[in-house]
Chains A and B, each alone.
Chain A
C-alpha cells in the first residue's frame, strides 16, 4: 500500500523536497532550543505558554473534525461521503501527530516525557489529554488503514472494524473536550474559566476542520484529478455554515457575560485583545483580522449563490481557516495569560526559533498527509 507514495510526478518529488528542507531548518532551530533552553522562545514567567501550546489547541480541533465525515458516512450511511471519509481520517492522523509534537517541543525536559505515563496522575487533565490524543491517533490510523486495505483487495471492510469506527466518533468529541478542560478548570484565568469553552472549541473545530477538508478536496481535484464529488462538498459546506454560526453565537455569549456583568477580571482579556490594556496592544491587529475574516467568510457561507461557486467557496474557506487559526492558534492561549495573576500586562513576542520549529512541525504534518493521501488515492485509482 505505502509503495503508492513512493512513485510520483516531478512536482510530487519537488513538493516533498520543499517540505523536507523546511523540516531540516526546523530541526536546526530545535537543536538550538535544546542546547540553550526554552529561553530562546518568546515565552516568559508571565506568558508561560506560547505558539506551541496554541497550535496544539488549534490542531486538536482539526483532528476532531474528522468526525464530521465519519459520523454521516458510517452512522447515517451517507454514501456521498464514501470518497472523502478517508481524507478526513488521515487528516486527523496528521493533525494529532502534530499535536503530540507540539507538546514535545514545549517541554522544558523533553527527555523526561515518559514521566507522563511512568507516574500517571488521573487528577491532571494533561495526563488525560496525552492519553486520549494517543488513542485517537491509533484509532484513526487503524480504521483508515484497515478500510483502505480492504478497498485495495476489492473486498468489503471486515465487520470487526465497525466497533472501532463507532468508538472513534465519541472519541473525537472527547479529545477536544479534554483539551478545553486543560484551560477551563484553572482558577484565576478568567478568559478560560467558562463552561462554554469546550462547546466553543467544538464549534470552531467543526468550522475550521471541514473548511480545510473542502480546500484539500478542491486541491486534490486540481493536482491529483481526484474528485470527492460535488454533493460531498455541498454537505460539508452546510456543516461549516452551521458551525460558524454556532461559534459566533458562543463568542458573543462570552462578550455579553463579560461586559454586561461589568466584572473587571472578566473584561480584561477581551479589552487586551480588542483595544489593548494598559497601553499594550500587540494582539489587537490579529484579533481584528480574525473578526473581519470571520465575518467575510460568514457572508460567503450564508448566501447560497456565493458558496455554490467553488472559487468563491475556496476563498471563504481560506478566510475562515485563517480567522479561526488566529483566534485559537494565537489569541485564545496567549491572550489568556494577559494580564498576569498580579494584574501586570506582560506581552509575548514570538521568536524566529519558535516560528521555524512551528513551521517544521506543520511541514512534518503536511508530509505525513501528502504520503497518506498519495497512498489512499493511488489505491482508489488502481481499483477504479
Chain B
C-alpha cells in the first residue's frame, strides 16, 4: 500500500512537500488547504494579474464598442444576410452555452456519482459556466436587432397586451438558458458560502470583514446548518443534472424543430449535449492548466484530475464524431434528396474547409488521449484543449451556415462571409469571459475549501480511532493505481505528522 502511493515528480509544487496518490497531495493539513486557497484572495495583487486584466478588459471594451456600433447601425453591420439569417451570433451563442455545460456537469453530475475528485475543480468550472452563459446571452440579445425591445421575450404585461409565443423553440430557449443561469448562480453561491465564511474569519481589514460577513450570511459551520446545507446541495445537484441536459437539448430544438435539411434530425439533442460537454471540458482544461500553475495549486488540482477530464474529452469527442457519421448515414438512409444534398454539400461543398477542420479537431485529435502518456502531458493537453474548442466552434459554424446557405431553390443560394464587426464582437466576448474569470480568480476562493477538506483522509471521524491520529497510508485508497516510483526521501517525509504548515 505504502509503495504504490508515491507520485512522479512532475506534480511537485516545488516546495519539497511530497506527493502521494490521493485526492489531495502533499500530506496537507486542514489549515494548509485553507492557506493555499485563501491567501490568493488576500495577498497583494500580483503585477501579472494587472497585465492580464488590462488585456482582457480592453478586449471586453472592444465588445462594448462593437455592440454599440451594431445597435446604432443595425444588424446589417454583421455578415448575416439572406439566405444566411443566422450567422456568427447564433454560432457564438451555441458555442458559449456549450462551454458552460462542463461546469454544471462537474458540479452536479459528478457529485451525484460521488466522484470526489470533482471537489478541487468544481468551483472554477462553475464560475466558468456562469461567465460562458453571460457571454452566450449577449449574442441573441443583440441579434434581435432592436435590443431595447428585448424584454418582449419575457412574459411581462405590457401596453400592447401581447404575450410571447410559447410554441416557439426560440422562446423555450429564453426560458431554458435563463433558468440555467439562475440555477447555476444559486448552486455556485450556495457552494461558496462556507468558503466566504472562511475568508471572513481570516479577514484583517474593516471593510473586507464586513463585505465577507455580508456575503457569508453568518455561516458558522454549525452541524445543524451543514445538515440542511448538504441536503439542499444534493437536491440542487439533482435538479441541475436534468436541467443541464435539457438546456442544450432545447438549444438544439432551435434547429431540430425547423424543417431545414441538415437541421431536422432527432439526433440533435443528445449530439448537442455530448458536444457541449466535450467543448466545456476542453475549456476547463485550458483554464485550469494555467490557473493551477499560476496559483501553485498543483497539490489540489492534480495531474490525475486533468487526466480524468481528458478521458471525458476522449469519450465525448468520440460520441460527437460518431454522431457526425450517423448523420451521414441517416441522410443516405432517409432517401430524401435534399437531406442527402445538405450533407454532401457540407463535406464537399464550398464550406468543406470548415467541415474538415471540424472533423479533424473533434473526432481525430482527441484520439491522442488513448495514450496515457499523452493525456498526462500538460503541453499536449493544453494544445489539444484549444484545438477541441476551435473544432467545436466550427461544428456550430458548419451546422448553422451550411444548412442555410443553399436554400431549396438555387436562386436563393449564397456564400456567407463575416464582417470585421462579427470578428470584433466574437473576440470581445472572449475578453468579457476572461475579465470575469480574472476577477473570480482574484476575489473568490477558486477551490472549494470546505469540500476539499471533507474528502481528506483525516476528515473521516473514524480515522482517529486508535492512537488519535490519522495513519497515513492506511486511510488513503488510491483511486488510480500509480506506477510505483519511490522517492528515497519519501519515507522519511511520511513519518512526519503532516504538520507542514503553509503549503505551497
Does chain A bind chain B?
Answer: no
User: Interface of A with B (CB < 8 Å)?
Assistant: none
Residues of B bordering A, CB below 8 Å? none
